[in-house]
Structure 1
């Protein structure tokens, strides 16, 4: 793959994509596949070194609104077809997603969600606590009211997806400039004219911001408010388990956000710390594991005593309503953006790559993404907050 450190980046391009995570390389792949030439992806570190390198890898279509369901469903199909297009093994494991519910209100809300999902061909279903325990023997049914399961969901390896898209994009002629930092964007009236980087200026007419948790800074360069804040999320891995762990769904205790799933010869653990302050710090602090253990002593007691052998911290790119920002800047049509996915970026990246491609080509995307415009916040049209943030 032609990813390298450039003493000078190409002096001109048709499209500059800022951010070499899964969203950036998916966009590059879909544009190149459609015949767009002279694309440069600019990444300040290595490919996938931001949020894309450290997510939990979940892929699902279980959401509570039609737009997110459509983005998730289309991406699920793309990940299933990934070995053929673009052509890479991402170790997809279709084990399903299992949400554990402990109140009548949660059950009622999820029942409405399942009806909506089923109407859009998502095979989710409400199940009993006993059936949930059969799917995931680790859990205790004490206090559970119901659960929701969708067998089509699962998890895969985000780093492999980033590399798969990037290699296919490079084969199609995309230039990928790693270790190249963007310092400014030139405009003239309502036109984009260039991007300044640490390795030279690139003259261009289109910039696409896929900079994840750093997108607010990129938006500021052109006077566009992209309300994205960085929030640290941490996870851990168990030591190898003997006997081996059973093959279980991606399991989430909805009230606490604690989750776990198979990972190599052990399990992966995670939980969102409700007290986590905003910031770009990605230091892994094992102390947060006590929060996970406190929850699992009740919900999945066997997990509380499992030994861990390390973990990592990454960033969620969070918007005020926990929904993405996708669109074209009205005042600067040459500036497009796809950011602020609030934990859903990896699982929606294939579909969003298609959408951004179509926006660039001025074609109608497969679904109406106008509700995700960044304008919604100053127009007072926020989407109902998406509660499922894993």
Structure 2
């Protein structure tokens, strides 16, 4: 028995040592040492152990991050509906809607998914969980717009689909239980670009009125701008590469003159005045970080109220990992607070432009993040070993 316990002890220590060494190795990059949770998730995605929309391990089933969409106790129920928008050229754009069944005069959040404007890189399906969570957190009617993408559809198709999606949501506000006076556009990455572009279109085309815009790590220019973040984090390890960005530009905007158009590159616009108040979230390890923050500064200079937050220690797309990352949870909380402010009070313009920095969790939150990182690492190593065994 003593010998068995000794072997169990040595085996346990060996497993723990393997986990620690693995996480430390994954966290070591040319750009510095990553937080454990960020390192584990990047390793998993970059090595195709899990997909971008993977289901978290069972240990997160009763995690405080999890929320319920049910109607326990007879409360309101979050429902999912599918509609279609017929565009001016006769195409039917799919719409994904999340709302509470008792919604009445609720804010409307028109959401544009990320995906580099390219087929196979993002869709309504890959962003279902995020849109559902936004509806739960904000109480808003969330309308996801499945805009057309390259290479089959070049500019301005995606932008026009996004704008038509905005108009559809406003025109159907009453039937959805929403308020056409409290419409906010939102999106991540390429979708963040479309949210900014749609805001400009609405301004330039005299409506619909937009109460606010939420931009998660947006692409703001197709120009070859020498941003430090583009050069430092463009390898693809941080979930977005220069290769993908160039592929997106070649496919979506094949003519160089398109790159300066404000409806592809809102950062190149002649005027930033009279645009809706903005919440812009950026990530430390993201090639799009600097251009998102510069766009925020341009808005501020034009008198637009803007709240800019840089999340430290995380990568492009971090909000989509809200089920396993505290920073993703904080991003959703910032979004919910922004939606509440935009629908309850007149936003104020700060005199001085500032980028708020949100550090990695500390104290017990940090301990929990570390423990979860190693738990996920064990899950990933086990899955990888099982896949190898099956082969």
TM-score by length of 1: 0.29
Greater C-alpha radius of gyration: 2
TM-score by length of 2: 0.29
The structure, 1 or 2, with the larger RCO (C-alpha pairs under 8 Å, 6+ apart) is 1
